[in-house]
């Protein structure tokens, strides 16, 4: 996949916008930023990679849901019904984590969609320096909102806590075949956490990079992104 070098983080974008408001960018600096951001946002491979990560996370969530159901059946089959309520509680926590991840995605999508509307109204009509300053002022709050609503660390902690508790649950009894089912489940949860984190980071790169494209003749791309990744494969996942 082709990508620009030195992709800027949301924090770096925020710092640059502050400086631009005060001093304005140099022509060389502005052209360099615009080129890198435009390359990323117009690169269909970058968008497709994000979509692939969301799809993989959704499929993995469904697979883990299936393992939870299988393990509950095994507990009942082996007359270990006293452990079923505890297992169901872990299952409910997993579903809660998935719902939480969907809430994060929907909130981020809402920010990007509102960003898109402002981008269309403000940036594409830039003709003067004052227009550019107005556009920057209108777009800056979205950077701050993305920063203040970033709760991906909390989501990751919930997944890792769940993984730890499932491992502990597996140590409570010594049925060999059941242990073989617990081990891959904890590995899958860890992988799901990594996939969701990667997808969330991709949203930040795509959304934050767009803010660098404030210039006299910008190309409008964010709506293509928000249209294509709205819910996506998560919409078909019946576990939340």
- pLDDT, the chain, mean: 61
H or E element that contains 231: none
**Is 50 exceeded by the pLDDT of residue 208?**
no
Contacts 24+ apart (CB under 8 A), 25-33: 30/215, 33/8, 33/212
Measured CA angle at 176 (ends 175, 181), to 5 deg: 100
Only one residue has tokens 């916008």, namely 17
12-21, 48-57, 120-129, 170-179, range with the lowest pLDDT: 170-179
Residue 224: which pLDDT band, with cuts at 50, 70 and 90?
A: very low
146 CB neighbour count, 10 Å cutoff: 22
Distance, in Å, from the CA atom of 165 to the CA atom of 149, rounded to the nearest integer, reads 27
Residues 6+ apart with CB under 8 A from 42: 219, 221
Distance, in Å, from the CA atom of 220 to the CA atom of 224, rounded to the nearest integer, reads 9
Query: Of 38-52, 137-151, 158-172, where does the model show the most confidence?
Result: 158-172
**Is 60 exceeded by the pLDDT of residue 21?**
no
Q: Are 4 and 36 in contact (CB under 8 A)?
A: yes
pLDDT at 205: 43
pLDDT at 121: 64
pLDDT at 87: 81
The pLDDT of 37-63, averaged and rounded, is 63
Tens-place pLDDT, residues 156-168: 788 788 888 877 7
Look at residue 150 and give its three-state secondary structure: coil
pLDDT at 220: 36
Instruction: Give whole-number Cα distances, 100 to 27, 40, 66, 125, in Å.
Output: 43, 28, 19, 38
pLDDT at 39: 55
The pLDDT of 112-122, averaged and rounded, is 66
**Is 70 exceeded by the pLDDT of residue 207?**
no
């Amino acid at each position: 996949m082709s990508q620009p070098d030195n992709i800027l983080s949301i924090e770096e974008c925020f710092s640059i916008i502050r400086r631009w408001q005060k001093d304005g960018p140099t022509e060389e600096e502005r052209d360099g930023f615009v080129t890198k951001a435009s390359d990323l946002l117009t690169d269909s491979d970058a968008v497709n990679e994000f979509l692939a990560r969301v799809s993989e996370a959704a499929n993995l969530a469904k697979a883990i849901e299936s393992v939870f159901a299988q393990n509950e059946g095994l507990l009942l089959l082996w007359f270990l019904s006293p452990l079923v309520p505890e297992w169901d509680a872990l299952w409910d926590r997993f579903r809660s984590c998935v719902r939480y991840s969907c809430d994060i995605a929907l909130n981020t999508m809402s920010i990007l969609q509102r960003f898109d509307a402002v981008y269309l109204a403000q940036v594409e009509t830039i003709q003067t320096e004052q227009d550019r300053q107005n556009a920057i002022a209108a777009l800056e709050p979205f950077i701050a909102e993305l920063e203040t609503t970033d709760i991906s660390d909390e989501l990751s902690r919930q997944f890792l806590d769940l993984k730890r508790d499932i491992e502990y649950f597996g140590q409570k009894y010594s049925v060999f075949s059941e242990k073989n089912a617990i081990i891959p489940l904890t590995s899958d949860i860890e992988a799901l956490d990594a996939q969701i984190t990667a997808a969330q980071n991709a949203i930040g790169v795509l959304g934050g990079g767009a803010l660098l494209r404030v210039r006299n003749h910008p190309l409008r791309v964010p709506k293509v992104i928000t249209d294509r990744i709205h819910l996506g494969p998560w919409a078909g996942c019946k576990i939340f």
